[in-house]
Structure 1
Amino acid sequence: MLDHRHLDHDGVRLHYVVAEPAPAPAPAPADADAPAGDGPGTVVLLHGFPHFWFTWHRLIPVLAAAGWRVIAPDLRGMGGSDAPADVEAYAPREVVDDVVAVCDAESADRVVLVGFDFGAGVAYDTCYLEPGRVRAVIGMENPFMSTAGSIPPLEGSAMIATKHFLHLHYFAQPGVAEADLAGHEREFLTRVFWALSADYHYLDVWQHPPGSTYLEALPEAPPLPWPWLSVEEMDTYEAEYTRTGFAGPLQWYRAMDVSWRARKEFERQTNPVPYYFLYSEHDPDLEGFHGRDPLSKLGRYHDDVRMVRAISSPAGHLMHLEATEDTHRELLASLEDIAAHVPG
């Protein structure tokens, strides 16, 4: 059962859900006097865009059934959390402090972070800025956050966008995307989910000319339900983004230069926290946004790489939705290793 909670942190109201671990089975008679224990620990699930806590709704009961306590926040700007208007409010320090505040409110000292998309960046930033609060980190799809080069990412995106459509530049322009997408929430969400999946090659959107809108660049999507997404799940996404609009979530893109500059402070450091990585072979982020052969570079960013695994089923960026059972199995394998070998 999910418990929806709120926390006021430095003027930002944060929403998150908590799932308590399933009761442990009764000990065998020979172990009747053995202590019950507190379970393997707490997992914090960090989502990306265009998501909110609900993207984990299939995973949360699986983790709870395995004995883990689960916390799934809405990152600031998305879902039920406040959306500050200043891009500086989305800097790594601010967002990491949100994670720490939620953990403090739940008396969770050393947690396992699972990060996907923007949430992976939050997880890695937490490892750099608050390593003592993180027991281990599991990255999904996005293996590291690079600050390579001397050109801020939005400046570089603007240069690329003179040659072809690029969503980073489109989203970075204040007021443009939210105006285009207002009233088209379901169409956008459906098209972008389909485009990011293994059913389409996402980088083909780059074939569209400069000045295209995202809806013009995205492919038509077949009617729902799909084998990996139900009508009811899309109804939930549509309702939430119709309620909130896109202005808050898009601050994460508009703050990319802010985050890039902040990360320059620790670009020569490596993440000291035990690191696990899970990916899908058709992920467009790995193909187009992390340089050549990103998996060979993990040691440049992470001190203690424990496990790197690909799911076996075909999946694009939305691996936890497209190949749910495989993703859950691999995540549980990582968590079992953490429970056995990483002190809590």
Structure 2
Amino acid sequence: MSDHRHVDRDGVRLHYVVAEPAPEPAPTAGSPGTVVLLHGFPHFWFTWHRMIPALAAAGWRVIAPDLRGMGRSAAPADVEAYSPREVVDDVLAVCDAEGAGRVVLVGFDFGAGVAYDTCHLEPGRVRSVIGMENPFMGTAGTVPPLEGSAMMAEKHFLHLHYFSQPGVAEADLAGREREFLTRVFYALSADYHYLDVWQHPPGSTYLEALPEAPPLPWRWLSVEEMDVYEAEYARTGFAGPLQWYRAMDVSWSARKEFKRQTNPVPFYFLYSEHDPDLEGFHGRDPLSKLGRHHDDVRMVRAISSPAGHLMHLEATEDTHREILTCLADIAASVPA
């Protein structure tokens, strides 16, 4: 069972879910500890609803926050409120509220950036970090990311630029939440080649660039699960979540502080063969560059089943198995 809880930090109300470890955990669980699951967009804590009971059954306490701007957490209007320092302090506030000292962070999409920022800013609070799909956060170059995205968007549609324009996506997607979520989930999956959206011309809307999706249910997503996603985004809208894109320059500038520093925390990485982030957003052969960004690379594991960006939904059992393999190594080799 998962409990829904809140904590207030400097006027920002944060929602999170907690699941306690099973009374009789699996024998391979190792030492008890706390795992914090950090989601991306367009998600909220619910994206982990399959993983939470699996980790708890293996003896781990699980905390799954809604990142600020998403789900039931507050959505500050100022992009400066989404800086690395602010979102890292959110993670610490949730951990402090639950008495969790050094935790294992699992980060996916924007959540991977939060996890890596926590490793840089508060390494003493992180026992280990497991990255999913996103291997590192780039700070290279002299052009801020929003400016660079605008330059790319002069040649073809690019979601980063589309989302960065205040008010545009909110207006386009209002009342079409289910259509957008269904089509973007399908486009990000192994059933479609996501980078084909770049074939659409500048000025296209995201819905114009995304492919039509087959009717639900899919082999990896149920109608009922999409109902939950639709209800949440119909309730919140997209203004808060899209602040994460509009704050990209803020984050890029803040990360200059540790541009030349590597992550000192033990690092594990899990990826899928058809992930569009690895293909298009981290440069050439990003897996060969992990050592430039992380001091202590413990494991790099690919899931065996076909999956795109949403590995934990598309290949749930394989993803859980690999996550638990990483956690077993952490329990055995990294002090709590």
Q: Pick the TM interval, shorter chain.
A: over 0.9
**Offset at residue 150 of structure 1 (A):** 0.2
Q: Aligned partners of 2:218, 2:9: CA distance in 1, in Å?
A: 39
Percentage identity across aligned positions?
89
Say yes or no: does 1:290 pair with 2:282: yes
Q: Aligned partners of 2:283, 2:244: CA distance in 1, in Å?
A: 21
Say yes or no: does 1:19 pair with 2:11: no
Q: Aligned partners of 2:108, 2:180: CA distance in 1, in Å?
A: 20
Q: Which amino acid aligns with 1:6?
A: H
Q: Aligned partners of 1:217, 1:26: CA distance in 2, in Å?
A: 45
Normalised by the length of structure 2, the TM-score is 0.98
Residues 27-80 of structure 1 deviation map (CA, whole Å, 9 limit, x = unaligned):
9xxxxxxxxx99520000000000000000000000000000000000000000
Counterpart in the other structure of 1:96: 88
Say yes or no: does 1:217 pair with 2:209: yes
Q: Which amino acid aligns with 1:114?
A: V
Counterpart in the other structure of 1:341: 333
Q: Which amino acid aligns with 2:134?
A: N
Spell out structure 1 runs of 4+ moving beyond 3 A: none
Q: Aligned to 2:214, what secondary structure does the other structure show?
A: coil
Counterpart in the other structure of 1:257: 249
Provide closer, same or farther for how the CA distance between residues 305 and 38 of structure 1 changes in structure 2, counting only shifts above 3 A. Answer: closer
Counterpart in the other structure of 2:186: 194
Residues 117-173 of structure 1 deviation map (CA, whole Å, 9 limit, x = unaligned):
000000000000000000000000000001110000000000000000000000000
**Offset at residue 24 of structure 1 (A):** 2.4
Normalised by the length of structure 1, the TM-score is 0.96
Q: Aligned to 2:269, what secondary structure does the other structure show?
A: strand
Q: Aligned partners of 2:135, 2:320: CA distance in 1, in Å?
A: 18
Q: Aligned partners of 1:202, 1:304: CA distance in 2, in Å?
A: 31
The structure having more radius of gyration, on CA atoms, is 1
Provide closer, same or farther for how the CA distance between residues 10 and 68 of structure 1 changes in structure 2, counting only shifts above 3 A. Answer: same
Q: Which amino acid aligns with 2:165?
A: Q
Say yes or no: does 1:233 pair with 2:233: no
Q: Which amino acid aligns with 2:287?
A: L
**Offset at residue 207 of structure 1 (A):** 0.2
Equivalent of 1:274 in 258, 266, 272 = 266
Q: Aligned partners of 1:12, 1:197: CA distance in 2, in Å?
A: 33
Q: Aligned partners of 2:138, 2:8: CA distance in 1, in Å?
A: 31
Counterpart in the other structure of 1:45: 37
Q: Which amino acid aligns with 2:147?
A: E
Residues 175-211 of structure 1 deviation map (CA, whole Å, 9 limit, x = unaligned):
0000000000000000000000000000000000000
- Is the 2:25–2:59 contact (alpha carbons within 8 Å) kept by the matching residues of 1? no
Equivalent of 1:331 in 323, 331, 334 = 323
Q: Aligned to 1:5, what secondary structure does the other structure show?
A: strand
Provide closer, same or farther for how the CA distance between residues 256 and 267 of structure 1 changes in structure 2, counting only shifts above 3 A. Answer: same
Provide closer, same or farther for how the CA distance between residues 317 and 26 of structure 1 changes in structure 2, counting only shifts above 3 A. Answer: closer
**Offset at residue 264 of structure 1 (A):** 0.6
Q: Aligned partners of 2:157, 2:55: CA distance in 1, in Å?
A: 39
Q: Which amino acid aligns with 1:12?
A: V
Structure 2, unmatched stretches of 5+, are none
Q: Aligned to 1:17, what secondary structure does the other structure show?
A: strand
Q: Which amino acid aligns with 1:67?
A: G
Q: Aligned partners of 1:82, 1:26: CA distance in 2, in Å?
A: 36
**Offset at residue 252 of structure 1 (A):** 0.1
Counterpart in the other structure of 2:200: 208
Say yes or no: does 1:122 pair with 2:114: yes
Q: Which amino acid aligns with 1:283?
A: D
Counterpart in the other structure of 1:66: 58
Q: Which amino acid aligns with 2:285?
A: D
Q: Aligned partners of 1:327, 1:178: CA distance in 2, in Å?
A: 32
Q: Aligned to 2:195, what secondary structure does the other structure show?
A: helix
Q: Aligned to 1:157, what secondary structure does the other structure show?
A: helix
- Is the 2:30–2:332 contact (alpha carbons within 8 Å) kept by the matching residues of 1? no
Counterpart in the other structure of 1:7: 7
Q: Which amino acid aligns with 2:11?
A: G
Q: Which amino acid aligns with 1:305?
A: V
Q: Aligned partners of 2:22, 2:310: CA distance in 1, in Å?
A: 27
Provide the aligned length of Structure 1 versus Structure 2. 335
Counterpart in the other structure of 1:33: none
**Offset at residue 26 of structure 1 (A):** 12
Q: Aligned partners of 1:190, 1:168: CA distance in 2, in Å?
A: 19
Q: Aligned to 1:13, what secondary structure does the other structure show?
A: strand
Counterpart in the other structure of 2:153: 161
